Amino acid sequence: MKGDEALSDFRDLEKLLAAIGNRHRARIIAMLSEKPMHIYEIMRKLEISYPLAYMHINILRRAGLIEEVDLGDERRKYYRTVPFRIELTPDLLRRVLHEI
């Protein structure tokens, strides 16, 4: 979800809330907001395994909260946050829940 894009349906909202509702993923977003990082840096800072870090990165990417960025190092993929703002209102919940 980039910029001021509106959530289009309940699945989008569910995916977004699941992505940010995990402690590791919230920390990844916070770290990547400071600077782009590769997965090994993320692993070390969070003290988690590669498969777990990879899973969290993929969830955040699918939710549209982070993206891969080319920093010229062909050996490593770097990730950064995308600009986003989350505004959850009763009206939004009513609209997306109405679609279910």
The DSSP call for residue 89 is -
**Is residue 81 in some structural domain?**
yes
Segment 18-33, tens digit of pLDDT: 999 999 999 999 999 9
Q: What is the CATH number of the domain that holds 35?
A: 1.10.10.10
Confidence at residue 4, expressed as pLDDT on a 0 to 100 scale: 42
Does the residue 2 lie in any domain? Answer: no
Residue type, 80: R
Task: Say how far apart CA 70 and CA 78 lie, in whole Å.
Answer: 7
Query: How many beta carbons lie within 10 A of that of residue 84, not counting itself?
Result: 17
Global confidence as pTM: 0.80
Q: For 64, left (φ over 0), alpha (ψ -120 to 50), or beta?
A: left
Mean pLDDT for back-to-back runs of 10 residues, the chain (100 residues)? 55 87 96 96 97 97 93 86 89 79
- Domain of residue 73: give its range: 10-95
Is residue 88 in some structural domain? yes
- pLDDT for the residue numbered 76: 85
In sequence order, the 6+-apart residues with CB closer than 8 A to the CB of 69 are 36, 78, 79, 80
pLDDT of 22 reads 95
Q: Tell me what pLDDT residue 1 has.
A: 46
Domain count, the chain: 1
In a domain, 86, yes or no: yes
Residue 24 falls inside a structural domain: yes
